[in-house]
């Protein structure tokens, strides 16, 4: 896979963030900020986390960068976010207008990636990124965002908040 210099640099910056952040919350807050600032096509970057003990299960908006979204709570049977959390699989949507599951957050959004976060083998939440550009998420982006989600899961295992 071709990896651009920017993606390589950002991955290194994310790795040092993960090493220096004391809490998972600090890591998540700084990670969304870094991805939003450095990756020019990542126009909305945020976490949704499963609410502890909620029945039915509910994703709740966590740290994010970008415009405020109307979707602060998403049930698992709704949206691209619900699909990724309920299947435990990464979802990449190149054209959100063609995906009937899509819940609109901004009229400018054209493509989206959602990567589940696992804590001790169970889905605990996800990292969601929207782009104003169609098909913005290539294989190198998928690898970067999955790396971010994996570091977040590992940090949550060590430091729950
Ligand atoms: N588009 C998401 C909803 C969250 S906003 O993008 C921030 C979805 O379809 O689940």
> Given the structure tokens 């889905």, which residue do they identify?
123
Q: Ligand 1: which of 35, 47, 74, 95 to mutate, judged by most atoms within 8 Å of the beta carbon?
A: 74
Ligand 1: nearest atom to the Cα of 44: 7
Among 69, 82, 97, 132, residue to substitute to test ligand 1 (most atoms within 8 Å of Cβ): 69
Find where tokens 């993606």 sit.
Answer: 7
Tokens for 99? 């995906």
- Please tell me what DSSP assigns to residue 118: E
Count of CB atoms situated within 10 Å of the CB of 160: 12
Centre of ligand 1 from the C-alpha of residue 80, in Å: 6
Question: Residue 27 is inside which H or E element, if any?
Answer: helix 24-38
Asked if residues 41 and 133 have their Cβ atoms less than 8 Å apart, the reply is: yes
85 closest CA partner among 68, 73, 100, 97: 73
Residue 160 predicted with pLDDT over 70: no
Distance (Å) from CA 48 to ligand 1 centroid? 10
Question: For 50-98, what is each residue's pLDDT tens digit?
Answer: 999 999 999 999 999 999 999 999 999 999 999 999 999 999 999 999 9
Question: Which is the closest atom of ligand 1 to the Cα of 69?
Answer: 7
Q: What does the pLDDT look like over 28-63, one tens digit per residue?
A: 999 999 999 999 999 999 999 999 999 999 999 999
Q: Is the pTM of this model over 0.75?
A: yes
Is the predicted pLDDT of residue 12 greater than 70, yes or no?
yes
């Amino acid at each position: 896979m071709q990896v651009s210099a920017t993606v390589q640099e950002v991955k290194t910056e994310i790795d040092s963030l993960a090493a220096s952040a004391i809490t998972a919350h600090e890591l998540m807050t700084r990670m969304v900020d870094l991805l939003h600032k450095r990756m020019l096509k990542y126009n909305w970057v945020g976490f949704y986390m499963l609410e502890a003990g909620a029945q039915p299960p509910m994703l709740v908006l966590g740290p994010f960068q970008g415009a405020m979204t109307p979707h602060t709570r998403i049930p698992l049977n709704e949206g691209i976010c619900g699909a990724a959390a309920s299947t435990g699989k990464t979802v990449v949507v190149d054209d959100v207008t063609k995906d009937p599951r899509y819940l609109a957050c901004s009229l400018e959004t054209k493509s989206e990636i959602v990567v589940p976060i696992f804590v001790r083998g169970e889905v605990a939440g996800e990292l969601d990124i929207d782009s104003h550009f169609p098909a913005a998420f290539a294989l190198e982006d998928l690898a970067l965002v999955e790396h971010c989600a994996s570091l977040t899961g590992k940090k949550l295992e060590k430091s729950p908040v």
